[in-house]
Amino acid sequence: MNICIIGTGYVGLVAGTCFADSGNDVICVDIDAKKIEKLNKGEIPIYEPGLEELVKRNTQDGRLKFTTNLSYGVKESLICFIAVGTPPGEDGSSDLKYVLSAARGIGNAMDGYRIIVDKSTVPVGTADKVRAAVEGELAKLGKKYEFDVVSNPEFLKEGAAIDDFTKPDRVVIGTDSAHAAEIMKELYSPFMRKTDRLIVMDIRSAEMTKYAANAMLATKISFINEIANLCELIGADINNVRKGIGTDSRIGFEFLFPGVGYGGSCFPKDVQAIIRTAGEYGYDMKILKSVEDVNYRQKGLIVDKILEHFKRQNSVGETLVVSRNDRAGTSPAPTNSLAGKAIGIWGLSFKPKTDDMREAPSITIIKRLLDTGAKIKAHDPEAMDEAKKVFGSRIEYMQDNYEVLKGADALVIITEWNEFRRPNFEKVKNLMKNPVIFDGRNIYDPKEMRSLGFTYYGIGRV
């Protein structure tokens, strides 16, 4: 099939590349000329395992093209995917200006029947707005062409996106057109060879499915963090509790990992958007508001632990309380409770196997540590360049994770990259000024760490 993908961000680039790799002719369109120039040279703007090789192969084979010419992409294609960004507004709602701009561009370039697919994560009712935008553009031009609008939400995990796309748990197709449904089934058939996991439903249910899925996963994360915090207070071990509940098939282990909270481009934005949508209909999403509140608090919990540790050590300092004001970019008055302390950071991206810093817990943690006077050295296998856009020269960036430790008063684990799981602990201890570890992802065993001579703090661990 001939496909146009509008938007070469994370979703658009992965989708376009995987469709091309299954034999389709794909034209990826973006208004960012510099990005298109780099993509045509084989330079990938994001880090995703396996993506660079697929892009180069399909570009060389002629199945994958990149251009800034939307009209060309639309005219050459039957199916036009809208995969542009939907950034959150100040009130938590999704900004649809890029989606609707793409829809108008499609309407302007159409010369016959098209299937227009919403691949971006969008609020319920967006398909109606896309349809109206296309119809409005056609009316301006005095043209009338048939077209169908389809909702096809993405369920990609950063760091595993290629597998998620080519071996999906499910593919959701929202449409009121039997004809469009059959074409979409054919498009996805190469990824349904073992079992048919394609689900066809009405458009609004498809739009809601994406938000509901992410809200549920975010809820599991905040829930296990709440239980972990209680475990610390009562002397239980969250790792044992997690095993005890995760073995229940009704609950499972997925997303039951306590830590410093969730981040990224999806969970924070989607939870806010569903709360906002509910508010528009007069409904108060009390559970999801609590999920948000827990996540804000959790991002600062490890800072509280650090401050309390050095307060006990130095008999100075004060506990820093995290509030939702941090989300708005405001910070508490600076203190000097960590003045002169060297804090090493392992992990900056919001999760392993990505360079994505959007809403990363490391941002809240490091900014608050800086506010207390701490000096920060940090290492991340992939997110250093993105981190520099956030912190600039306020912290030091080390190319080797052991370099972070030289003279450090404490080490903070924020992202659970595999290379951090089993380091040379004797080397770690010898490099540090004080062998203190604050494990924000519970990747180490407390008893083992203490037996090796470390002062160890986890999340919900005893």
**46-87 pLDDT tens trace:** 899 999 999 999 999 999 999 999 999 999 999 999 999 988
3-state secondary structure (DSSP) of residue 304: helix
**Residue 330 pLDDT more than 60?**
no
Question: For residues 325, 330, 336 and 341, what is the CA-based torsion angle, rounded to 10 degrees?
Answer: 90
Cα angle value 349/351/356 (rounded, 5°)? 45
The band of 134, judged by pLDDT with boundaries at 50, 70 and 90, is: very high
Q: Would you give the end-to-end CA distance of the chain in angstroms?
A: 57
The confidence score (pLDDT) of residue 62 equals: 95
How many other CB atoms sit within 10 Å of the CB of residue 101? Answer: 16
CA atoms 193, 196, 197, 201: torsion sign? positive
**Residue 321 pLDDT more than 60?**
no
Name the average pLDDT for the chain.
93
The confidence score (pLDDT) of residue 88 equals: 79
pLDDT above 70: percentage of residues in the chain: 95
Judge whether 175 and 181 are in contact, CB under 8 Å.
yes
The band of 462, judged by pLDDT with boundaries at 50, 70 and 90, is: confident
Query: Among 93-102, 202-211, 225-234, 405-414, where is mean pLDDT lowest?
Result: 93-102
Cα dist. 381→49, 231, 349, 426, 444 in Å? 13, 32, 9, 22, 19
pTM: 0.88
Q: Averaged over 173-179, what is the pLDDT?
A: 97
**182-209 pLDDT tens trace:** 999 999 999 998 778 999 999 999 999 9
Structural tokens at position 432? 């540090």
**294-311 pLDDT tens trace:** 999 999 999 999 999 999
The confidence score (pLDDT) of residue 328 equals: 41
pLDDT above 90: percentage of residues in the chain: 88
CA 275 – CA 94 distance, rounded (Å) = 11
**253-302 pLDDT tens trace:** 999 999 999 999 889 999 999 999 999 999 999 999 999 999 999 999 99
Region of 244 please: left (phi>0), alpha (psi -120 to 50) or beta.
alpha
Judge whether 83 and 9 are in contact, CB under 8 Å.
yes
**91-112 pLDDT tens trace:** 777 889 999 999 999 999 999 9
The confidence score (pLDDT) of residue 315 equals: 61
Q: Averaged over 433-446, what is the pLDDT?
A: 97
Just list the catalytic residues.
266
